[in-house]
Amino acid sequence: MPPFLVIARLTIQEASRRRLLLALLILTLVVVGFSAWGFNKITTLTRSNGEPLPPDQIALLTSQLLIVITFMFSGVLALSAAVVAGPLISSEVESGLLLSILARPVRRSEIVIGKWLGLAALVALYAAFAGTLELGAVDWATGYLPPHPVELLAFVAAEGLVLLSVGLVLSTRLSGITAGVIALVSWLIAWIAGVVGDIGAGLENQALANVGVVSHLVLPSDGLWRGAIYAMEPDTLIAAMRALGTAGRANPFAATDPPPVEFLGWVVVWFALVLALSVWSFRSREI
């Protein structure tokens, strides 16, 4: 097995042995259970005259509630990825854990890539598992399934990977706490900048709109979140928002268009650049 896969396996093994996976599993089951119960209540709502809500209104309510829940889920996933990635390298340098490994015929790039791969696999698998479970629960409770579930999970996972990558690159130089906090704050700033960009688009103010564009390029987490929202919106809602013109765009929990292909291409390049920067930074670090 090449060294980077050994390191990736070790990273997954650590998460498993330290009971991170077990804790996530239990928390996920609790949250999904509660949300299924809550979503099921929507189907029992009635109008003032005692008639049950029509199916399209239930679908609309469910889709909006699902967006809010997904926002929280993607946020928790992104923050967890940042917090776990922050100390990924720095803590092992500080504790001396990496000393005996680096004296083996292992390139530093293999350590960086191995750790990224291991954690990326965990983030992607967890997003797929927890997301599928939640969508399944919502489908069971209300009969509603978002129009593009696979894309939704891909966008949510990618957002987690962005924060993981930011945490990792910082971890090559900064202490775990510092790296985690910077990644976390960056994520929040990017989200706020995305909202500012939305307001700019709504008001047709180019300068404000550019803030959103630039923030999506520097840290694509918010851009990916918009992709996740779009994947959750029923066609009727999208049509209604488009009818509102630019004003329909000024909402951080709504998207009138899917992310442009150019943006998705940039995200791939962004991942490559950040990984390359991580490798360079760790290779030039003295231990």
Q: Is 276 in the site for other proteins (CB under 8 A)?
A: no
- When the beta carbons of 14 and 151 are compared against other proteins, the nearer one is 14
Identify which range of 10-18, 82-90, 218-226, 238-246 contacts other proteins by CB under 8 A.
10-18
Stretch of 8-16, 119-127, 128-136, 248-256 lying at the interface with other proteins (CB under 8 A): 8-16
Subset of 82-121 contacting other proteins (CB under 8 A): 95-97, 99-108
Give min distance, CB of 221 to other proteins, in A: 29
The reply on whether position 18 binds other proteins by CB under 8 A is yes
22 binds other proteins (CB under 8 A): no
**Least gap, CB of 4 to other proteins (angstroms):** 11
Residues in contact with other proteins, counted by CB under 8 A, come to a total of 26
17 binds other proteins (CB under 8 A): yes
Q: Residue 10, interface with other proteins (CB under 8 A)?
A: yes
Q: Binding to other proteins by residue 214, rule CB under 8 A?
A: no
3-state secondary structure the chain: CCHHHHHHHHHHHHHHHCCHHHHHHHHHHHHHHHHHHHHHHHCCCECCCCCECCHHHHHHHHHHHHHHHHHHHHHHHHHHHHHHHCCCCHHHHHHCHHHHHHCCCCCHHHHHHHHHHHHHHHHHHHHHHHHHHHHHHHHHHHCCCCCCHHHHHHHHHHHHHHHHHHHHHHHCCCCHHHHHHHHHHHHHHHHHHHHHHHHHHHHCCHHHHHHHHHHHHHCCHHHHHHHHHHHHCCHHHHHHHHHCHHHHHCCCCCCCCCCCHHHHHHHHHHHHHHHHHHHHHHHCCCC
Compare residues 242 and 285 and give the one whose CB is closer to other proteins. Answer: 285
Contacts with other proteins by CB under 8 A lie at 1, 3, 6, 10, 13-14, 17-18, 95-97, 99-108, 280, 283-284, 286-287
